[in-house]
Amino acid sequence: MRETAHGPIVSPMREIVFDTETTGLDPKTGDRMVEIGCVELYNRVPTGETYHAYFNPERDMPAGAEAVHGLSASFLSDKPLFKELAEELISFLGEAPLVAHNAGFDFGFLNAELAMIGMEPVCMTRMVDTVAIARKRHPGAKLSLDALCTRYGVDRSHRVKHGALLDAELLAQVYVELLGGRQIGLELAADAATSQTSTPDPVAQVIGNKPTAPVRPPRPHAASAEELARHKKFMEGFDQPIWAK
């Protein structure tokens, strides 16, 4: 932890928002993960770094699942097996907290795939479930990703079917809003550059829980005599205005 004129700076926090698409609802009955999309955040700000892959599930695609995400068995037939990309995926995830919507579902499929190839599961303590966060923040409200996008004004007009990377990108925006928006607790790296004991970070820094922007004096905003005269002339142009009754 470093100090600035404003107080301590917490080291940048890396998080991964991710989503999966599958052949069904339960890996214990033979369902497989067929797509994963990941979005990297630093201090709740997308960095532009993503990870996306399709996987050949080596099985059929039920019609119900295909109707949701549009991924057919034919489309997936020439895609790599999960084991071929597993190391690459785990390297991208690193040790960061993993954010997902109804995260137990996505963790269940990811760890099932890892178990099938003898790799260590992702620790459940890294799980951040946006459904649980939304339930606490908006009790009784609809908690689907679509509903939360609507609530927070996140544009999903290009979402015709579910897609892992697209849904992860939408969820990243929703996640930030669920936690109060990007401006809460953030300071630009330029502020850190003024510290005598540190070098600037490439991303915004978390500075406690209070805004640190300087207080600015109020700016004059009274109308001038010329503006008042123009306004009076404009108002006189109305024929029998209701405010004159």
Catalytic residues: 162
63 token code pair: 């019609």
199 neighbors 16 (Cβ within 8 angstroms):
no
Contacts of 202 (CB under 8 A, 6+ apart): 42, 189
Q: Hey, what long-range contacts does 189-196 have (CB within 8 A, 24 or more apart)?
A: 191/4, 191/6, 192/2, 192/4, 192/9, 194/4, 194/5, 195/2, 195/3, 195/4, 195/5, 195/9
7 phi and psi angles, rounded to 5 deg: 125, -165
d(CA 167, CA 218): 43
d(CA 159, CA 38): 17
